[in-house]
């Protein structure tokens, strides 16, 4: 493990959203403390919106700053290595920064509508923005933690931070969803704690200094000395625990309820970012486990659970009539595919998993927010009632159509690129039949997505429905996400492929540089064809100087 560069940036990144959350949530008489001109519903909400924008903007800018430092000087750390950001963590931190900013911007228009329609009152707006920042903070803590106990505590805190967001509307169904979310995830993550405790206790016995045994970077360095039986047990516990949070079958039961009942921007954040943060912790435990017992055991578990997730969720996806539930099952499916890619392993498999995590995150956040627009216009998520979105709200209709095609894996959208990589990796590593099964399940999903486009986006709109899209404030952040979905589909930008390569090297615990590019993309003078032709590509033929260009 190369030495980490001390940096002030990780604590700075964390302190902003935490301060905002504490400020908003611990002022019980927030409105009374405002000057008279602001002490109205409208005035206090406008102030809250500005504070919220400051928070999400801050997180985005600091994430970019951290990313630049990580790309230029390698992993950075703070607080005696308790906090650190390596290339792997940076991938997920950027997801929080980007998707957090876009869903944060979208929240403004969405909550204003909720406020006008009477679904929430001004007090709930404060709760929402306070917990939104808290949720961002807990996820940032999870991806910047090097202390494995802190990693667990942060994942547990993400549940506690977002439970009130899920139950925001206070109706029977949303309270029920929030309760299931809290109970299932807390219990699941208790398994994660047990796994964490097992690894830590084991390492505390092996390493001379118990303060080192708690650091992930030290654990990876000494993985070979750990007790194989205990590490296997710990990986099973960690996979169950953090897999619950990531929405892996069969621990996914909370996910469709929470995703469908939460306000739409939060659904986007849950699906786009939270699931991925939990996956990051699974990946961190995977790296330790591989160091102790090799790849066979963890990969077998990952392939099994991943394939089951893809299979079961594709069927449940198809039969759902509730738009947001449908999208939730699609999230389980995509998480399943990421887990399959991790299980396939090899540099290309790991890189494919990471790229798919990024692509799915952006696309699903966009889809959930588009579903939010549908909810604003139609007042329902029932696909039997949502017809002709393209006529009623053309921009939202177009966005939905784009999302559906992207999720179905059609080029030139981003999901195609990473799914293609997953399949290439699977075939390269000799998992032909697993890839064939995945392809079959993906076909079922495609059928479901085509149905959304044909019936709901295109179909005949209800006569009584007023034409006209939602305002530009609700559309602008979605436009940015749509541009990302398309751009990443045309070509993987060089800085991103560099980042994914470096992150892959962290997971492989060595120097391996898979090609991270669209199939048609020129890659430092080579095309992706070499992968298809040559099986193991490649990586050797690219020199360090070529990569760093």
Partner 1 sequence: MNGFLIVNGLSGLLIVSSLLVTLAGNPANSARFYALQSFILVMLFVALAGATGSGELYLWSFTALLTKVILVPAIMYRAFRRLSDPAIGTGAVMPTALSIVGAAVALILCFVVASKVTLPAADAIKPALAVSLALFFIGLACIVAQRNILKQVFGYCLMENGSHLTLALLAPNAPELVEIGIATDAIFAVVVMAALGSRIFDTLHTLDARQLTSLKG
Q: Which stretches of the chain bind partner 1, using CB under 8 A?
A: 147, 149-150, 153, 156-157, 159-160, 163-164, 167, 170-173, 175-180, 182-183, 186-187, 190, 193-194, 197-198, 200-202, 204-205, 210-211, 213-214, 227, 229-230, 256-257, 260-261, 316, 319-320, 322, 325
User: SS3 string of 481-492?
Assistant: HHHHHHHHHHCC
Q: How far is the CB of 157 from partner 1 (least distance, A)?
A: 7
Residues in the chain: 549
- Comparing CA positions, the residue from 241, 218, 341 lying closest to residue 288 is 218
DSSP string, 394-443: HHHHHHHHHHHHHHTT-TTSHHHHHHHHHHHHHHHTT-HHHHHHHHHHHH
Q: In what order do the strands lie in the sheet with 83-85?
A: 5-6, 76-78, 83-85
Record the tokens describing residue 355, joined without a space: 């790229």
Q: How far is the CB of 6 from partner 1 (least distance, A)?
A: 19
Q: Give Cβ neighbours of residue 41 (< 8 Å, ≥ 6 apart).
A: 115, 122
Q: Are strands 5-6 and 526-527 parallel, antiparallel or unpaired?
A: unpaired
Q: How far is the CB of 325 from partner 1 (least distance, A)?
A: 7
Task: Compute the distance between CA of residue 223 and CA of residue 286 in angstroms, rounded to an integer.
Answer: 11
Residue 349's CB: how many other CB atoms inside 10 A? 26
Q: How far is the CB of 478 from partner 1 (least distance, A)?
A: 27
Check: CB of residue 420 under 8 Å from CB of residue 414: no
Check: CB of residue 361 under 8 Å from CB of residue 433: no
* Collapsed DSSP state (helix, strand, coil) of residue 527: strand
Q: How far is the CB of 270 from partner 1 (least distance, A)?
A: 15
User: Please, which residue, 185 or 424, has the CB nearer to partner 1?
Assistant: 185
- Backbone torsions φ then ψ of 526, nearest 5 degrees: -110, 155
Q: How far is the CB of 91 from partner 1 (least distance, A)?
A: 25
User: Please, which residue, 227 or 469, has the CB nearer to partner 1?
Assistant: 227
Record the tokens describing residue 79, joined without a space: 């607080």
* Collapsed DSSP state (helix, strand, coil) of residue 266: helix
* Collapsed DSSP state (helix, strand, coil) of residue 49: helix
User: Please, which residue, 203 or 374, has the CB nearer to partner 1?
Assistant: 203
Q: How far is the CB of 533 from partner 1 (least distance, A)?
A: 45
User: Please, which residue, 5 or 197, has the CB nearer to partner 1?
Assistant: 197
Q: How far is the CB of 368 from partner 1 (least distance, A)?
A: 17
Q: How many helices (H) and strands (E) does the chain have?
A: 22, 5
Q: Give Cβ neighbours of residue 197 (< 8 Å, ≥ 6 apart).
A: none
Q: How far is the CB of 486 from partner 1 (least distance, A)?
A: 33
User: Please, which residue, 33 or 171, has the CB nearer to partner 1?
Assistant: 171
User: Please, which residue, 183 or 476, has the CB nearer to partner 1?
Assistant: 183
Largest distance between two CA atoms of the chain:
74
User: Please, which residue, 201 or 304, has the CB nearer to partner 1?
Assistant: 201
Q: How far is the CB of 241 from partner 1 (least distance, A)?
A: 11
Q: Give alpha helix (H) positions in 207-322.
A: 216-221, 228-246, 254-261, 264-269, 275-293, 296-319
Check: CB of residue 145 under 8 Å from CB of residue 82: yes
DSSP 274: I
Q: How far is the CB of 475 from partner 1 (least distance, A)?
A: 30
User: Please, which residue, 257 or 419, has the CB nearer to partner 1?
Assistant: 257
User: Please, which residue, 187 or 533, has the CB nearer to partner 1?
Assistant: 187
Q: How far is the CB of 222 from partner 1 (least distance, A)?
A: 15
Residues pairing with 523 in the sheet: 526
User: Please, which residue, 170 or 430, has the CB nearer to partner 1?
Assistant: 170
Q: How far is the CB of 286 from partner 1 (least distance, A)?
A: 21
Q: Give Cβ neighbours of residue 25 (< 8 Å, ≥ 6 apart).
A: 126, 127, 130, 131, 134
What Cα–Cα distance (Å) separates residue 382 from each residue in 115, 259, 323, 374, 499? 22, 15, 6, 10, 40
Task: Compute the distance between CA of residue 504 and CA of residue 337 in angstroms, rounded to an integer.
Answer: 17
Q: How far is the CB of 180 from partner 1 (least distance, A)?
A: 7
User: Please, which residue, 157 or 293, has the CB nearer to partner 1?
Assistant: 157
**The tokens 């919106």 sit on which residue?**
49
């Amino acid at each position: 493990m190369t030495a980490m560069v001390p940096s002030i940036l990780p604590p700075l990144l964390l302190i902003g959203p935490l301060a905002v959350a504490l400020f908003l949530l611990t002022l019980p008489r927030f409105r009374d403390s405002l000057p008279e001109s602001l002490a109205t519903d409208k005035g206090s909400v406008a102030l809250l919106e500005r504070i919220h924008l400051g928070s999400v903007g801050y997180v985005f800018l600091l994430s970019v700053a951290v990313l630049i430092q990580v790309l230029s000087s390698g992993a950075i750390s703070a607080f005696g290595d308790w906090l650190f950001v390596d290339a792997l963590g940076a991938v997920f931190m950027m997801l929080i920064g980007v998707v957090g900013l876009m869903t944060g911007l979208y929240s403004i228009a969405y909550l204003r509508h909720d406020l006008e329609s009477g679904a929430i009152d001004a007090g709930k707006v404060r709760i929402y923005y306070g917990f939104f920042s808290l949720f961002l903070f807990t996820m940032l803590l999870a991806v910047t933690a090097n202390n494995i106990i802190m990693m667990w505590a942060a994942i547990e805190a993400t549940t506690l931070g977002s439970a009130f967001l899920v139950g925001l509307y206070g109706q029977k169904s949303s309270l029920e969803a929030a309760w299931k979310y809290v109970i299932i995830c807390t219990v699941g993550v208790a398994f994660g704690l047990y796994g964490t405790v097992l690894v830590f206790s084991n390492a505390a016995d092996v390493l001379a200094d118990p303060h080192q045994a708690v650091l992930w970077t030290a654990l990876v360095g000494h993985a070979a000395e750990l007790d194989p039986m205990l590490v296997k047990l710990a990986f099973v516990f960690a996979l169950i625990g953090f897999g619950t949070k990531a929405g892996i079958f069969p621990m996914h039961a909370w996910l469709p309820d929470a995703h469908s009942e939460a306000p739409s921007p939060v659904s986007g954040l849950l699906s786009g970012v939270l699931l991925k943060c939990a996956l990051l912790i699974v990946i961190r435990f995977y790296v330790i486990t591989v160091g102790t017992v090799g790849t066979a055991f963890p990969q077998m578990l990952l392939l099994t659970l991943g394939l089951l997730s893809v299979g079961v969720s594709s069927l449940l996806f198809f039969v759902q009539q509730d738009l947001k539930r449908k999208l939730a099952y699609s999230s389980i499916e995509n998480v399943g595919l990421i887990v399959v890619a991790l299980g396939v392993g090899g540099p290309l498999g790991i890189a494919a998993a990471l790229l798919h995590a990024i692509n799915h995150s952006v696309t699903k956040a966009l889809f959930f927010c588009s579903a939010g627009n549908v909810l604003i216009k139609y007042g329902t998520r029932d696909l039997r009632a949502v017809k002709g979105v393209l006529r009623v709200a053309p921009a939202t209709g177009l966005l939905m159509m784009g999302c559906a095609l992207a999720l179905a894996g059609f080029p030139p959208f981003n999901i195609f690129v990473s799914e293609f990589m997953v399949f290439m990796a699977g075939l390269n590593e000799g998992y032909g039949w697993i890839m064939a099964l995945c392809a079959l399940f993906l076909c079922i999903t495609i059928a479901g997505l085509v149905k959304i486009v044909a019936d709901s986006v295109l179909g005949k709109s209800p006569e009584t429905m007023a034409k006209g899209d939602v305002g530009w404030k609700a559309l602008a952040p979605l436009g940015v996400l749509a541009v990302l979905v398309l751009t990443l589909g045309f070509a993987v930008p060089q800085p991103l492929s560099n980042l994914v390569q470096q992150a892959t090297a962290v997971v492989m615990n060595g120097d391996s540089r898979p090609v991270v590019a669209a199939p048609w993309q020129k890659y430092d003078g080579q095309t992706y064809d070499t992968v298809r032709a040559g099986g193991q590509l490649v990586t050797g033929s690219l020199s360090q100087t070529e990569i760093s260009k």
